[in-house]
Structures are given as C-alpha cells and as structure tokens.
A and B are shown apart, each in its own frame.
Chain A
Amino acid sequence: EAQVTQNPRYLITVTGKKLTVTCSQNMNHEYMSWYRQDPGLGLRQIYYSMNVEVTDKGDVPEGYKVSRKEKRNFPLILESPSPNQTSLYFCASSLGVGHRGYTFGSGTRLTVV
C-alpha cells in the first residue's frame, strides 16, 4: 500500500531532550515536507526537500533540523525541544513540487513539558 509512515504517533518529552520523528514513504517520491498544525493557524511548512541531499527552510524552521540521506526517509530532528514546539506534526510527500497533491502521514502529536 502506498503510504507515508510517521513514528511515533504520540510523544511526550521534556524540554531540552533531543528527539527525532521519523518519516518514510514507499512511493519513490522526490519531494518531501514537514508541516506543523496548530489550532487557528492551519498547516505551516517547517522544512522541505526536493530530492536526496537537497533541503530548504519553510515558513517556521526555527528549532528544527532535517536530513535527506535517502530518497524514502526524511526525519525531523528537534535538538533542544521547547514547549512552543508542542504541536501536531505531519510529513508529506509528492512526486515533485509541480505534481498534483501531497500524500500525508497520519501525524505525530508531540507534547514538550
């Protein structure tokens, strides 16, 4: 089944403790992206990648890092999480930026205390 898989689905952590949210897609998509979803703010892009070893900042990149060493994986790294990074995170992929539609993962609900 074609899908984007995120792990974990739920995560509670403490301020300052490094964490990684994994994202993997099995559709051979070139384009991958991370979004965070907050009430009243919709989906805001954190980082995106147009291909292996090519990443760039989205609208809200502060406090996050990403890497794209393989086409299928695009992990989101929070080096020193803070409470304002408590949010619902989605990974998405697409054949290309110009291609119709994104496929989203099921989301990761992160709470930083």
Chain B
Amino acid sequence: GENVEQHPSTLSVQEGDSAVIKCTYSDSASNYFPWYKQELGKGPQLIIDIRSNVGEKKDQRIAVTLNKTAKHFSLHITETQPEDSAVYFCAAKATGTASKLTFGTGTRLQVTL
C-alpha cells in the first residue's frame, strides 16, 4: 500500500519568513495530493490540493509543488503569520473506488513574533 513520509516533524520560523514542508510517497499510482491544517482542538481542514497533471498550484500565500518523477511534493507558505501556527498533514491517494487517503505523520509549525 501507499506510504507517505513527511518532514520535518517540527518547524519554527519567524513571522514574515517562509516555511516549507516536504512529503514523499511510494505508490506511483497516487495522483491526488491534499494538504490539511489542524489547529488546536479542531479537526484537520483542507487548505490546498494538487492533482498529478499539474506541477504547481498557488492560493495566496500558500503553494504546493509536485515532482512525479521523484515522487515528492511540498507545501510552501510565504510571509508567515502567527495564525499559520498549526499542525500540517500531507496526504496521497490513487484513483479508484478502493483507494484511500494516506496521511503523513504531520509537521508542527510554530510562527514566532
């Protein structure tokens, strides 16, 4: 089955700096890669996703890049703000009714003033 590795497990950046979280996946059939943000006491919330026919997607201060050949994808947050502090999860999924979303182990991002 699919295996998703996520790094780093913790990340501390100063407000205004950029943050990058990286994930690798094992199943070459995976073609959907969402990112979730989990704030304290809440469930994960989808913030951005990318499909394998696209190399990069951007939404304001967040962007995701995908390298299918190397089987890795990354989340980039620019101009970080204190409200970006949260746990971020990457995930991967292949098409097909039997496939499921496999999550990485999470990255705790701390944005300091």
Contacts and interface: CB of A to CB of B under 8 A. Distances in A.
B43 A106 contact: yes
Interface string B68-107: 0000000000000000000001000001111111011110
Contacts of B49: 100-101
A102 B101 contact: yes
Given A98-B97, A102-B101, A43 B89 contact: yes
Size class of the B contact interface (CB-based, 8 Å): 20 to 34
Contacts of A92: 43
Contacts, number: 56
Interface string A36-48: 0000111111001
Given A58-B100, A101-B46, A105-B43, 20 more contacts: A42-B89, A42-B104, A42-B105, A45-B100, A50-B97, A90-B43, A90-B44, A96-B97, A97-B99, A98-B95, A98-B96, A100-B32, A100-B34, A100-B49, A101-B34, A102-B101, A104-B44, A104-B45, A106-B42, A106-B43
Interface of B: 1, 6, 9, 32, 34, 36, 41-46, 49, 89, 95-101, 103-106
